[in-house]
Chains A and B, each alone.
Chain A
Amino acid sequence: MIQTIHIGHLLRETVTSPYRNLVTRPTGAAIRNRIQETMAGSDCLTALLDFSGIELLDFSCADEVVAKLLLAGGERGGRYVVLRGLREDQHEAIEHVLTHHGLAVAAVAEGEEHAQPRLLGWVTPDARAAFACVCARGALTAGELAAVLDWLVARAEAALAVLAGHRLLRAEDDRYLPLPIA
């Protein structure tokens, strides 16, 4: 099950203004709190944060909303977070703050939930390659990934462990699955 959270709606409810710009740390912190409350009231496996109603996203707000939400991973109750509907400049702001923290998140374009998600933030090049491979092929074991990418199994295991640690893939027994987003 997927829970879609419209950030634009939360912004309008939180700052009680017609603005579509997600700026300033206090605003970002308030939005993050609302996201966490909303997620706490749901038992969906994935929270899809929809930014399509947002114009500008500055660094301070990207840090408060996305980076701190991911840093508070334990408080998400083991749920996965995926971003949707980001524009290029918003990708850039989120990429910058997540890289600064050594974090990463998956993002999908609006209406293209079946397409391969994009990784924003910092992961190792191996993890990036493994992510693309699992998203393209579906569930894989470390051995299967190693065979596809012509890697040693230990290398595939390490890359998949990084992705599972960042909650960018789902680990089930010895298999790694793409996040359910569609």
Chain B
Amino acid sequence: MKIIGWLVIFILGLSIINLVAYKIKVLAKIGFSLPIGMGINSFVMFSLNLFHIPINKINLLLGIDTGIIIFCFIGFYFVNKSIISSGSLFTKIDFKKAFNLNLAWIFLFSYAAYLVYAITVKSMFWPTYNSDSVDGYDFLARVIAREGTINNSIFNPDNLLIGVRSLYPPLVPLNFAFAYLLGFEDSKIVVALFFISLFVSFYAMTTKHTTPLAGALFSFFLVITPEFAAFSALSSSNPPCAFYSGIGMICLYTYYRFKEKPYLFIGILFIMLAVWTRTEAVLFALAGTIYLLSIPFNKKQLISVALLGFCSLVALLSWQIYMTSILHVESPMPIIKKLFWDPEKLSRILSQVKFVTFNTQFYGIIIYLFIMIALINTIFIFKKKENGILLGSIILAWSTYIFFYYQIDSDFKDLSMGGWIHSGYKRGLFYFLPLILFYCANNFISDKLFKKYFLV
């Protein structure tokens, strides 16, 4: 049942991709399938919950997922009739181009794959014990799996057992619950699958823009980021959100650069799922519009921007409305809803942000590498306009993220339990890692190095 369950989720994701974005890279399809499958599965569970249908009947869930797969296959037949009739349904994989077998590539890619395996094995060996999950996502998931509803006994006003992390959007707890329903003793398989998918997807997307050697090198940097890898071996919602927001932004950038529409659809879906994982990811919807607005403006672009905004808002509001009107609880984020100016607070935030961001124990040399490459590339910013857009989107997203913390109703003096910046912001930086490393692999200087001097 365990294998069948994840296979159904994989095929569900794959069939959605084939329906809306048949022409994307095969390796990207492999990397995207499970996260998309899990995202759709969580929508199915949430919808059933709205109609008071128990969501702990695994056969019912797998049946509905299979129904969607069949629907997608039928839809695929009608949408891609011309491709099917031309006989070019199965695109040949250019292995030479995808894996460009040189010694450095073999070394870096196989070492990175081994490290992904090591983190996955660690994740599977130790049960959930980190307090974030025990007092949050995993507890909610266990109760959902037993009681069959999101509005369960931990939201009972007579014995309210909600931690802050029980109130994040439901993608992660619903998929954790799904893992329990499949018979897993622990739900950490979900985070492990996201980590593997991120490695495959990041490599696939990077090599669409640059060489396999650069893809392998920066994928290696991604999987050895100390804090990110450590959290990917725990039970947390940050690595799944890092997948959706990071890869989503890369997909939207790919659409901007190559004007390949399939990446637009997948990018919008990923940003929507990022918001459905953690509310703060809505800032990527804002940053993502930079790519769409940088393309010569026409009616179609307006529709794309509207679609991105609409999908993100649907994900954001549906959970907020559910929380307030059905669960009768308030959002865990004490946000100040009006603009204000407090230079002392800003100074305290920035000094903590600086400490966390430039801490090599958390992110290794990635931040330094990014700033160095960005500074060097400012000289060539007009030679390669798309690099400037990519850098601009990162800066906009990052500044919005810091602004989000500025709007939190806290004076940022209390550092007990880590504080907002030392715990929340630190893990939130994971969302930027794929995008930052993607920029490091894709700029004027790196292009020169990898496409000319390091090309074997």
Our verdict on whether A and B bind, yes or no, reads no
